[in-house]
Structure 1
């Protein structure tokens, strides 16, 4: 990657973004400036002035952020209310959202918040280098949108059949500058033609038919402890998501394993999802009680495990394993530490020329507060 400064844009950034000069002036105050490996860029951590969170200004061009997908709590009414034409149903994967773009001849990966990720960049180049180069040769202004999934994942680890370490799976194809999506059928055909893995497609039908059949799909995904579904209009302009109970429980278990890091709103939203799903599915008292029991276990047992871990002198946090070439792992660890994270290395070994590292992103507040309470600090609750 070139270490020279980014060239000025061919036209003002406010014109590229399609906003007024005044709006861009306000936006600039909220742009984070970063340099990584000689690449100077700015990114937007939160939605501002009509510009999506994660939008990146780099090398005189723009990489648009991925729009936030709304959620329905009741499928039977939410789907027909949101869509007025055919709806495509695809799987929502449990990993981390990335966008790939070719900048100055290099394929780069950006996370949801707009951070350049050296680890993801190296992984996708290694696994899909030829396929992506062919895609960008033909469609240079494309923004490839997808999910990094698998058990050896530095951000969100989850088991998926056929994924031993980490893999990329596409779910969107957008114009890099405008953010306009490609239609679902055309997007799926293009990715298939280039050999790019993509999310599972459950079918496309009218809103009422999709609403009637969605429970069966979600229940099957729930049994496999998968994330859920994303529904889209055929042209890709409207989206809606719905998650499984297993995903909600997983989120709650994760949050309560670090109980002093996540707010009440995070927990409340997931409990609301569970309550609405139970009512819409017409669960009996016994079935609803089983759901409540599983939720209670996810919440309480994970918190108990964390308290016991701190009491035993262990570190509580987000524990992950990654596997890649040594220089790729080095780049990832440096990237995470540059973000202010405290990493505790549990295991570091080399297997078949690859470096395999298990590390914990230490949860400072949770570790400190649990220890204080174990030491007898009084709480006014």
Structure 2
């Protein structure tokens, strides 16, 4: 397919596509060459892929509110209908699944084909009937559970890894299905979905969402996504447990996660404390928990480096021997240093625990321990 045909599929002029083209990243997967958009450019979603003469749209960025009582009516004031759907936001990694030339492919949020997800999905969910009836569908979902190579989080009903659909979009245009239609279709094809808490009137939604958030927070879950009935407008809000969990993780690798990542989560805690109208005693308890998340995780990392041991992001995956090999090759191909900590057979699967070594945190921590002077 020529560049001109790609620009038509993207709804762009030739000149605009030429500018976009200079920012595309070329990748190869199993002999297939494709390009993807690593950052938002020219109105094109991050993660959009140009592959085999077609376009696989990226997933749109979902805005966040820090104050439910003001943010919810502001976001949905001009949307059709006077109600919004509230669904659970899960802590995992975002994937989009399409079928091209009879082959099912899973794309990461950044637009890369993930060979591990592409293969592991075959044992988790059957999408053949769905793609037979809707060949242009883009199945959008979250991979969750304790055994995944990107974002591991425990869920009571997931022993290893699982898929939960949260959106359905047209592969080329990116247009979403209305919420009710999408949920009905996934139910028809027995595709597991994220939890729907209900549909609420916009003016009353903030109070309902706060109640839901408090329940999710007590269960160490991530948060909610609010959607207009037609699926075009979205808004997210996360629990304190999710914010503090992110901070603990970031401060365990303090030189690999940037200050903006940490600052944004601290800001969320401040605004939530005010909107919740917390007493001084409750606010101090929140501050104590924040301090522990920040200091104790960082202290453990410094102690680990001081003992001469590596630090990084630790993951366990369970799949066939070939799928694990392909995953490790994929990660190393992105320039990551992988250390295998455990590799065994269990019930016919290969169970591999590995560490994505974070050199920046190791090297800088080691330097400071050795007396390196900090110039501020």
TM-score past 0.5 threshold: yes
Q: Deviations over 1:132-187 (max 9, x none)?
A: 01000000000000000000010000001111100110000000000000000000
Match of 1:279 among 274, 286, 292: 274
How much does 1:300 deviate?
Answer: 0.4
Superposition CA RMSD, Å: 1.0
Kindly indicate whether residue 193 of structure 2 is the aligned counterpart of residue 216 of structure 1: no
Equivalent pairs, count: 372
Q: Given the alignment of the two structures, is residue 125 of structure 1 paired with residue 118 of structure 2, yes or no?
A: no
Aligned to 1:98: 95
- Counting only pairs closer than 5 Å after superposition, residues 69-108 of structure 1 correspond to structure 2 as 69-84=62-77, 85-108=82-105
- Tell me the equivalent position of 1:44: 37
SS in 2 for 1:12: helix
Indicate the residue corresponding to 1:375 in structure 2: 370
2:201 maps to: 206
Task: Give 1:67's match in structure 2, choosing from 42, 47, 60.
Answer: 60
Partner of 1:20: 13
Deviations 1:175-234 (A, max 9, x none): 000000000000000001000000000001211111121111001000111000000000
Please point out which of 216, 220, 224 is paired with 1:225.
220
1:346 aligned residue:
341
Q: Which ranges in structure 2 are unaligned for 5 or more consecutive residues?
A: none
Alpha-carbon distance in 2 for matches of 1:343, 1:378: 30
TM-score, L = length of structure 1: 0.96
Q: Which among 163, 167, 172 is matched to residue 172 of structure 1?
A: 167
- For the residues of structure 2 that align with 1:340 and 1:208, how far apart are their CA atoms? 49
- Give the deviation of 1:40 after TM superposition: 1.2
Deviates more, 1:197-206 or 1:78-87: 78-87
What is the TM-score with the length of structure 2 in the denominator? 0.97
Partners of 1:236 and 1:126 in 2: how far apart? 29
Contact 1:9 1:59 in 2 (8 A): no
Q: Is the 8 A contact 1:9 1:61 kept in 2?
A: no
> Offset at 1:126?
2.2
Counterpart of 2:248 in structure 1 is 253
How big is the shift at 1:377? 1.4
Distance in 1 (CA, whole Å) between partners of 2:368 and 2:62 is 39
- Alignment check: 8 A CA contact 1:155 1:320 kept: yes
Between the aligned partners of 2:202 and 2:156, the Cα distance in structure 1 is 30
Is this contact kept in 1: 2:57–2:172, CA < 8 A? yes
Distance of 2:172 and 2:4 partners within structure 1: 13
| SS at 1:72 equivalent | coil
SS in 2 for 1:170: strand
1:4 alignment partner in structure 2: none
Alignment partner, residue 312 of structure 2: 317
Deviation at 1:268, TM superposition (A): 1.1
* 2:4/2:14 contact within 8 Å kept: no
- Residue 9 of structure 1, CA deviation: 6.2
In structure 2, how many angstroms separate the alpha carbons of the residues matched to 1:249 and 1:74?
Answer: 18
What does residue 3 of structure 1 align with?
none
- Structure 2 CA distance, aligned partners of 1:373 and 1:82? 46
- Which 4+ residue blocks in structure 1 deviate beyond 6 angstroms? none
